[in-house]
Amino acid sequence: MFPSKKATTMNSSSHERPPSVCVQGDSGLVLTTDPKPRLRWTVELHDRFVDAVTQLGGPDKATPKTIMRVMGVKGLTLYHLKSHLQKFRLGKQPHKDPNDHNSFRNSTVDLHRNAASSSMMGRNMNENMHMMQMEVQRRLHEQLEVQKLLQMRIEAHGKYMQSILDRACKALAAESMVNSGGSFKGPAMATDSQLGAPIKELSSSMSFPSLQDLHLYGSGDQLDHHNLDHSFNFSPNSSAESIILGKSKRHSPCINVNVNGRSPLLGWGGALGPSSVDQEPSSKCDQLLHMALPVIEAGIEVNPMANVYETKPMLSLDGTLTAADEKKYDGSSSSALKHDRPSPQRRAPLGMEMISPMMAMPQARNLSYG
Amino acid sequence: MEVAMEEANDFSRCTFSTTATMDDYFACALNNWEQSVADVGPFSSSADADDFHDLVESIMFADDVDYDPSIGHFSLPQSPSYNSNTSTCTPVAEEDEHTGTATAYNDAKGLRLVHLLEAAAEALGGVHKCPDLARVILIRLRELLGRGDEGTSIERLAGHFTDALQGLLDGGRMSLHDGARHHHYNKMEVLTAFQLLQDMSPITKFGHFTANQAILEATAGDRRIHVVDFEIAEGVQWASLIQALASRPGMSPPHLRITAMIRSGGSRSTQETGRRLAAFAASLGQPFSFSQCRIDANSERFRAAGVKVVQGEALVMNCALHPTTAAARRRTIGSVASFLSGSVDLGARVVTLVEEEDGEGEETEEEQGKGFVGRFMAELGRYSAVWDSLEAEFPTQGQARAVVERVILRPRIAGAIGHAYRAEEEEGGQVESWGEWMVAMGFGRVSISCFNHCQAKLLLGLFKGGYKVEETAMNKLVLGWKTRRLLSASVWKPPLPVHLPVMDSFEDSDFLFD
């Protein structure tokens, strides 16, 4: 808000619109009635100026003295003409033909005499610099474009993947409900808190020897075959394991992973960087993983896998940022280091740059992905 | 050969505060092996088979890895063929004695595993087939490796390859299950692991996005776009295309039609994919329709006539040969070739091709060679690069990686090895690179735009270092990990119809040019 305000005040001062009336003097010139009278270049006056300049052979050839003589307007001083001529020349600059460039250069000598105009040589260099700058800017702009589009595409990709998982999960839930008489309705509605505790339990239990035994038991070749040959079913085997692991909830095949509209497994390829192990794992992805992994393996893998996704990328599809996310964003905004591995808020620099435009327009994305 | 030597030297000069990557000692192992093979002599005569046998024995039963405190590193027992190379290949423990010794031990072990694997492959499918020897080697490997998901990265990798070889041994030839033990993972597991892989590695997205961008550019002004997809799978590629079309600035989205190929028995899942895509498109407000086209069950040929074509639509064909589990079996040469040639009949505007790339550049061709062992080592190299890339990106998520490795990569390994074995058997060879095939068939190249290249670079920029994209030809981008090429995406323009013969009555072998 502030900058725009400033602009308006600046505008008003530069436009010089005094409340006072403009007086037309005898000579036909319009002067303002300010304490400091300034000449107003009306359209008529300007036309006459242009005529005179053209008569004299263009803005390069014309000098304020000669223009004054040709125009023959009383009250017009050299000073007025000098400044107006300079502006005129500058104004004509971008529209100049490449052909005219030579004539432009030839008149350098003449124009050196004119103290008001800046050096033509300098202007040429400035032009080149300007063009280079424009080229660089154009490239940057292009890259930003690509970045933006890439980001949207990655999101679409992730969202679609999520929808696949959701559908499969629902299909599985339907199946299992049929199989086991709908006893999984409870767990199916599990919220974060319900699973949060068992997850912690699991992570702390990783060092228990019983789990290791289980793992060995589970990954024996024969057993692998048997257990995995069927589709995900809730055999007595799995319940035995879950008791050992103390997590009966893990049977729930389909937990609504989009409670907050966040997709646990969505996001940047790289932004799902290794976050620090000590942070709270997101239970959303744990739910998903619980669904997906056979019970035997899940015992070992669930928590570490959760870590992969635990610092949810800011760019969840509905654009909602929780307080936790925002905090992480702020904390990491300064470190755009890709290689800052130990940092818990690791983000790829690209991800960082992209976050700002996305943060700015969460609503728009809500609409498109609604 | 020289390059491999250099790599071996570099290997010894590297600091080993972190475990050497598998690529390093893989290359070193290969070099070592070559050297030792050279010492033993060419394999052509049967007399050398004994030497080979001895060599293998020495590797296998070299249990005692001696730790020499004065040198500070482990050394493999000195067998005649190993003398000169052991020192270059055995890593020297650095400043920290503890980590140094551990990594040194791991590296030595890794080296041995690679050697054993190569020996097993050689015994199984090399010049002198010796199944019993292979069996023994595999047993030995199993002993060394312990169980499934434990162990270091290379142990897991070696384990999967061991199992693949074991499957070949057990399953006999022409096995329907790609010669490997077929773990039927449930769909949820597969999907989750797949999503994990997508997030952990840019490989799949690279292929999808590059192809999609090429399609977008080729159909920039059109109001109707028709995509014919060779293998739609879950339709993941099209999500971003739909999004891109729906949100083009300044114009209303063109109508997108996707035709998917279905093979016998695959109809239901493809329909499901179509429904999903339609729902997704609807959510974005993108006009969309989906249809299917059956690949002829008997001849496994694509028939251009089977695709419904509408006037005024821009037709593009997409042939994404990502490595997937059952893919090797499904994608017979004939089906792919007929699909690609069908682009001519259909008057496709562009054909986008995504396929696996091999090797590390020119020199690998000579080193690895064709034949089962060559292919085996190439696959070992490729997957060790994939392993490395996952480990480098996500070093702390060991278990997550293990799951991805087990659920997604392991079946792929088994499939690839099985495919290589069968191809060797059939003596028909295989098409190594469909891109080259297309050149030979007269397809023109469509240059990759600056935007596309930039997009690929930015995608890789989301990951840590190590991934590279290079534009190896005007129409082809190749994604690689360090020096190893993994996947390529290329864009082609079908030649005019007059140049290609009718594809109907041809055999698979007719599509090969050797």
Statement: residue B480 has pLDDT above 80 = yes
Distance from CA of B273 to the nearest CA of A (A): 9
- Residue B118 identity (one-letter amino acid): E
Q: Which has the closest alpha carbon to B399: A219, A228, A241? A: A219
- Report, in angstroms and rounded to the nearest whole number, the Rg of chain A calculated over CA atoms: 37
Cβ neighbours of A311 in B, within 8 Å: none
Residue B405 burial class via C-beta count within 10 angstroms: exposed 0-12, middle 13-18, buried 19 and up: buried
Asked if residue A368 lies in contact with residue A322, where contact means CB atoms within 8 angstroms, the answer is no
Model confidence at A320, pLDDT cuts 50, 70, 90, reads very low
A305 inside 8 A of chain B by CB: yes
Record: contact A225-B181, CB cut-off 8 A: yes
User: Measuring CA to CA, how many Å separate B255 from each of A258, A337, B239, B492?
Assistant: 30, 42, 15, 23
What is the spatial distance between Cα B66 and Cα B75, in angstroms, rounded to a whole number? Answer: 6
The first and second tokens of residue B356, run together, are 């696996």
Residue A68 burial class via C-beta count within 10 angstroms: exposed 0-12, middle 13-18, buried 19 and up: middle
**Percent residues over pLDDT 90 in chain A:** 5
What is the spatial distance between Cα B230 and Cα B224, in angstroms, rounded to a whole number? Answer: 20
**Which residues fall within 8 angstroms of residue B47, CB to CB, at 6 or more apart?**
none
pLDDT given for residue A123 in this prediction: 72
Q: What is the ipTM of this complex?
A: 0.74
Cβ neighbours of B191 in A, within 8 Å: 164-165, 168, 292
**Which residues fall within 8 angstroms of residue A207, CB to CB, at 6 or more apart?**
none
What is the spatial distance between Cα A119 and Cα A126, in angstroms, rounded to a whole number? Answer: 10
The first and second tokens of residue A328, run together, are 């992480």
Q: What is the mean pLDDT of chain B?
A: 75
pLDDT given for residue B349 in this prediction: 92
pLDDT tens digits along A71-90 = 888 888 888 888 888 888 77
Distance from CA of A211 to the nearest CA of B (A): 13
pLDDT tens digits along A212-240 = 333 333 333 343 344 433 333 333 443 33
- Give contacts of A 48-107 with B, CB under 8 A: none
pLDDT tens digits along B181-194 = 445 667 778 888 88
pLDDT given for residue B5 in this prediction: 47
pLDDT given for residue B148 in this prediction: 58
Instruction: Identify which of B149, B181, B239 has the shortest CB distance to residue A157.
Output: B239
CA dihedral A219, A225, A228, A230 (to 10 degrees): -160
Asked if residue B76 lies in contact with residue B58, where contact means CB atoms within 8 angstroms, the answer is no
Cβ neighbours of A224 in B, within 8 Å: 148, 183
Statement: residue B212 has pLDDT above 90 = yes
H or E element, residue B136: helix B131-145
Number of residue pairs across A and B with CB atoms under 8 Å? 198
Cβ neighbours of B406 in A, within 8 Å: 297
Secondary structure (DSSP) of A336-357: --TT-TT-TT---HHHHHHHHH
Report strand pairing: B350-356 vs B314-321: parallel
Distance from CA of B264 to the nearest CA of A (A): 22
CA angle (B248 as vertex; B247, B253 as ends), nearest 5: 80
H or E element, residue B451: helix B450-461
DSSP tag of B443: P
Record: contact A270-B393, CB cut-off 8 A: yes
CA angle (A268 as vertex; A313, B379 as ends), nearest 5: 140
pLDDT tens digits along B74-130 = 334 433 333 333 333 333 333 444 445 556 666 788 888 888 888 888 888 777 778
Distance from CA of B34 to the nearest CA of A (A): 34
What is the spatial distance between Cα A298 and Cα A294, in angstroms, rounded to a whole number? Answer: 6
A297 inside 8 A of chain B by CB: yes
Record: contact A272-B201, CB cut-off 8 A: no
pLDDT given for residue A68 in this prediction: 87
Statement: residue B258 has pLDDT above 90 = yes
- Buried (b) or exposed (e) across A105-119, using 16+ Cβ within 10 A? eebeeebeeeeebee
Record: contact A156-B396, CB cut-off 8 A: no
Instruction: Identify which of B235, B394, B461 has the shortest CB distance to residue A350.
Output: B461
pLDDT given for residue B105 in this prediction: 66
Nearest CA in chain B to A148: B455
- Give contacts of A 190-219 with B, CB under 8 A: 215-216, 219
What is the spatial distance between Cα A28 and Cα B225, in angstroms, rounded to a whole number? Answer: 66
Cβ neighbours of A368 in B, within 8 Å: 246-247, 284-285
What is the spatial distance between Cα B28 and Cα B17, in angstroms, rounded to a whole number? Answer: 18
Would you tell me the crossing angle of helices B450-461 and A349-360 to the nearest 10 degrees?
100
Mean pLDDT of B47-60: 57
Record: contact A292-B193, CB cut-off 8 A: yes
Q: What are phi and psi of B354, to 5 degrees?
A: -125, 125
Instruction: Identify which of B185, B240, B400 has the shortest CB distance to residue A304.
Output: B400
Residue keyed to tokens 């949820």: B188
Q: Which has the closest alpha carbon to A275: A331, A199, A219? A: A331
Record: contact B188-A291, CB cut-off 8 A: yes
Statement: residue A310 has pLDDT above 70 = no
Cβ neighbours of B147 in A, within 8 Å: 216, 219-220
pLDDT given for residue A226 in this prediction: 42
**Which residues fall within 8 angstroms of residue B313, CB to CB, at 6 or more apart?**
B222, B224, B225, B226, B257
Which of A6-20, B296-310, B468-482 shows the lowest per-residue confidence on average (mean pLDDT)? Answer: A6-20
Statement: residue A202 has pLDDT above 80 = no
Record: contact B186-A291, CB cut-off 8 A: no
Asked if residue A349 lies in contact with residue A333, where contact means CB atoms within 8 angstroms, the answer is no
pLDDT given for residue A210 in this prediction: 36
Instruction: Identify which of A163, A267, A350 has the shortest CB distance to residue B458.
Output: A350
Secondary structure (DSSP) of A221-258: HHHHHHHHHS-S---HHHHHHHHHHT-GGGG-S---TT
Record: contact B400-A271, CB cut-off 8 A: no
pLDDT given for residue A58 in this prediction: 82
A336 inside 8 A of chain B by CB: no
Record: contact A294-B462, CB cut-off 8 A: no
The first and second tokens of residue A28, run together, are 């036909």
Distance from CA of B487 to the nearest CA of A (A): 17
Q: A258 versus A160: which is more confidently predicted? A: A160
pLDDT given for residue B492 in this prediction: 94
Distance from CA of B488 to the nearest CA of A (A): 19
DSSP tag of B266: -
Asked if residue B456 lies in contact with residue B448, where contact means CB atoms within 8 angstroms, the answer is no
Statement: residue B282 has pLDDT above 90 = yes
E strand map for B264-347:
288-294, 314-321
Mean pLDDT of B372-390: 88
A349 inside 8 A of chain B by CB: yes
Model confidence at B328, pLDDT cuts 50, 70, 90, reads low
Asked if residue B326 lies in contact with residue B424, where contact means CB atoms within 8 angstroms, the answer is no
Model confidence at B335, pLDDT cuts 50, 70, 90, reads confident
What is the spatial distance between Cα A358 and Cα B432, in angstroms, rounded to a whole number? Answer: 43
Model confidence at B56, pLDDT cuts 50, 70, 90, reads low
- C-beta contacts of B480-485 below 8 A and 24+ residues apart: B480/B357, B481/B385, B481/B386, B481/B388, B481/B389, B482/B21, B482/B23, B482/B385, B482/B388, B483/B23, B483/B360, B483/B361, B484/B23, B484/B359, B484/B360, B484/B381, B484/B382, B484/B385, B485/B357, B485/B358, B485/B359, B485/B360, B485/B361
Instruction: Identify which of A163, A228, A309 has the shortest CB distance to residue B185.
Output: A228
Nearest CA in chain A to B185: A228
Q: Which of A53-67, A117-131, B420-434, B496-510 has the highest mean pLDDT?
A: A53-67
Which of A166-170, B436-440, B496-500 shows the lowest per-residue confidence on average (mean pLDDT)? Answer: B496-500
pLDDT tens digits along A106-163 = 444 454 455 444 566 667 788 888 889 999 999 899 899 999 999 999 999 999 999 9
H or E element, residue B143: helix B131-145
pLDDT given for residue A9 in this prediction: 45
Instruction: Identify which of B149, B184, B396 has the shortest CB distance to residue A274.
Output: B396
Q: Where are the alpha helices (DSSP H) in chain A?
A: 2-15, 43-55, 64-71, 78-92, 100-106, 108-112, 120-180, 185-188, 192-204, 209-219, 221-229, 236-245, 283-292, 295-309, 323-332, 349-360, 362-369
A278 inside 8 A of chain B by CB: no
Nearest CA in chain B to A145: B451
Cβ neighbours of A307 in B, within 8 Å: 396-397, 400
Q: Which of A211, A301, A315, A350 to mutate to test the interface with B (most CBs of B within 10 A)?
A: A301
Flag whether the pTM goes above 0.95.
Answer: no
A270 inside 8 A of chain B by CB: yes
CA dihedral B175, B196, B323, B291 (to 10 degrees): 100
Cβ neighbours of B150 in A, within 8 Å: 215, 219
Report strand pairing: B484-493 vs B66-68: unpaired
Cβ neighbours of B242 in A, within 8 Å: 156
Q: Which has the closest alpha carbon to A301: A291, A285, A313, A289? A: A289
Q: Which of B163, B195, B452, B479 to mutate to test the interface with A (most CBs of A within 10 A)?
A: B195
Residue keyed to tokens 């730790």: B67
Mean pLDDT of A359-369: 42
Mean pLDDT of B418-433: 71
**Percent residues over pLDDT 90 in chain B:** 21
Q: What is the distance between the terminal CA atoms of chain B, rounded to a whole angstrom?
A: 25
pLDDT given for residue A75 in this prediction: 83
Statement: residue A318 has pLDDT above 90 = no
Q: Which has the closest alpha carbon to A356: A144, A173, A172, A207? A: A144
Q: HSE (CB half, 13 Å, CA atoms) of A285?
A: 27
Asked if residue A199 lies in contact with residue A281, where contact means CB atoms within 8 angstroms, the answer is yes
Give me the count of residues in chain B.
Answer: 514
